[in-house]
Structure 1
Amino acid sequence: MNADVPASRELAAIAELAARATGDLLRTGFRSRPEVDLKHDIHDPVTVHDHAAEETIREVLAEHAPGCVVIGEEGGRQGTDGDLCWYVDPIDGTANFAVGLPFFCTSIGAVAGGEVVAGVVYDPVRDEMFSASLDGATCNGERIESRGAARDETAVVATSYPSARDLRDDRDEVLRRFGLMVDAFATVRRPGSAALALAHVAAGWTDVSFDPRLNTWDLAAGLLLVRQAGGTYLPLGGRPGAPDHEAPGYVACVGGFDLAGSVMTEVIGLSSAGSGA
């Protein structure tokens, strides 16, 4: 399936329906202090609401795009039609959701012909729907433009770096890189949801976002949002010739930001070398 602009708009509309269908469920579960289970380690929590939201999304996608492949964080790969593939993160920012911090979202990206052609990031707390198609990017139906700071010294950067895994690999070097960011940027934030941070870069509410190790369901929708809003998204750590959404890392920035003159060029060079780029 090669999506043209009308087809990508239709896929974005389907993704919006699926994401919005989780809204009441997530708002009800938010600040209920749900029981938390662990998937891989203490840094990888999951709740019953993650599973319920993903199941809701799968039902909507099955109704409006029957037979498509859905790859979800909780339920893995399901479906038969490989020409259209949805990447679903029902709650990106589960750790925030579980304790009552209002920075989490639902992220759904549609891949056709090997490229991300539609995606949404939905913030149920603020009822903000960020949506991207090949026709542009919007928030609650209004066009967004990725504009903000031009230089590090006036910029806000959002990142989950360094993770516990990064620190295990080379603690001293990783902390040195993080120190470069803290020294150079006006503000460094660790908000806890890469997908929502990317949406905020697309809207111009955050200037730079960086993460070296994520999954496709974390970044597919945000990738398209940033680019369609006029920002820059650079994949990091991917295989040569592989599509950008399969790369595990990225750096993104608002349009007009001087990435070449940023300290991120040194941080990216060191971290991407360490992650196989």
Structure 2
Amino acid sequence: MSTDADLIAHSQQLSATAAEATRLVADDLRAAFRAGMDVEFKRDKHDPVTVHDRRAEEAISALLTRHFPGSSVVGEEDGAHEGSGDVTWYVDPIDGTANFARGLAFFCTSIGAVLDGRVVAGAVLDPMTGHLFTADLSGAWLNGEPLRSGGTKQEAEAMLLTSYPAARDLAGHQESALASFAGLVTSYGTVRRPGSAALSLSHVAAGWADATVGTSISAWDVCAAQLIVQQAGGHYLPFGGEGWDHPHFAAYTADLEPTTLTQFVGDLQQ
């Protein structure tokens, strides 16, 4: 029977492998950035993909399954591949593809590891800054240094990062969605729409932003970063379903008093 110490040690190995996999593709992403590229679209014009997304995911998946044979991999671009082992990896090779494709330096590679339905390890790398956020069951780190999610207490002084409202939020609910967004803009000192859920969550974990909200996200968007936030002492509130991979989330630092954010979440659940 494995002990808690065994599980922590295993999570640390998984986190180290996730970090290695993010670094594996970083040079190629930096080289491609602002170099000109063809862009295709998946569901609609709001959902771009490039050859670099697909190439990075292929390289990452190969490394993960080499280090942990039998792993299952759930990737944004290549879908789910079920293995015989106990580890499932959630891979977003470029979270923030629209930014990457247009030359806006706010995107990342995100890799999380799940055991028995529990997220136990993750890594998020911003290849343009070199900021590597990692977490396992013993804590969270930024470039190897312990991470604490702290910041301002009052929303009126706080920075909120959000993708809300996205086009899907506006479809059929434009008036209420815009009213909800107006409430956030009015209540928070600063609201920004940077375009990467994983990197926005990582900034909350570091205390560089105070809160973030995402809607209609996928599991690979948040698998690693939600663990990083929580292991750094911040709060992660998934809603809209069951389990850690809810389609909507709100997150905030250990210090923030999220009155408006809590009301926002409640309104969206009605």
Distance 2:263 2:148 in 1: 27
Distance 1:267 1:175 in 2: 12
Matched, 1:271 2:265: no
Match of 1:132 among 127, 132, 135: 135
Q: Which one-letter code corresponds to 1:102 in the other structure?
A: A
Match of 1:112 among 97, 107, 115: 115
User: Contact 2:121–2:135 (CA<8 Å) still a contact in 1?
Assistant: yes
| CA offsets 1:127-150 (integer angstroms, 9 cap, x no match) | 111000001000110111000011
Normalised by the size of structure 2, how large is the TM-score? 0.96
| CA offsets 1:136-185 (integer angstroms, 9 cap, x no match) | 00011011100001111010000000000100130000000000001000
Match of 2:200 among 194, 197, 202: 197
Matched, 1:26 2:29: yes
User: Contact 2:99–2:105 (CA<8 Å) still a contact in 1?
Assistant: yes
User: 1:188-227 alignment to 2 at 5 Å?
Assistant: 188-227=191-230
2:249 match = 250
Distance 2:239 2:36 in 1: 35
Give runs of ≥4 in structure 1 deviating > 4 Å. none
Distance 2:53 2:115 in 1: 25
Match of 1:47 among 27, 46, 50: 50
User: Contact 2:110–2:125 (CA<8 Å) still a contact in 1?
Assistant: yes
Distance 1:205 1:82 in 2: 37
Q: Which secondary structure does the structure 1 equivalent of 2:72 belong to?
A: strand
Distance 1:181 1:24 in 2: 37
2:12 match = 9
Please, which moves more after superposition, 57-66 or 90-99?
A: 57-66
2:84 match = 81
User: Contact 2:69–2:85 (CA<8 Å) still a contact in 1?
Assistant: no
Distance 1:185 1:272 in 2: 21
Distance 1:258 1:81 in 2: 44
User: Contact 1:68–1:81 (CA<8 Å) still a contact in 2?
Assistant: yes
Matched, 1:175 2:174: no
User: 1:90-105 alignment to 2 at 5 Å?
Assistant: 90-105=93-108
Q: Which one-letter code corresponds to 1:197 in the other structure?
A: S
Distance 1:33 1:269 in 2: 43
Distance 1:265 1:143 in 2: 28
Give 5+ residue unaligned stretches, structure 2: none
Q: How big is the alpha-carbon RMSD for the aligned residues of Structure 1 and Structure 2?
A: 1.2
Structure 1 residue 63, shift from structure 2 partner: 1.2
User: Contact 1:201–1:208 (CA<8 Å) still a contact in 2?
Assistant: yes
Give 5+ residue unaligned stretches, structure 1: none
Q: Which secondary structure does the structure 1 equivalent of 2:172 belong to?
A: helix
Distance 1:61 1:169 in 2: 41
Structure 1 residue 272, shift from structure 2 partner: 2.4
Q: Which secondary structure does the structure 2 equivalent of 1:169 belong to?
A: coil
Structure 1 residue 82, shift from structure 2 partner: 5.5
Distance 2:193 2:160 in 1: 9
Structure 1 residue 226, shift from structure 2 partner: 0.3
Q: Which one-letter code corresponds to 1:167 in the other structure?
A: L
Distance 2:206 2:251 in 1: 12
Distance 2:85 2:214 in 1: 28
Q: Which secondary structure does the structure 2 equivalent of 1:4 belong to?
A: helix
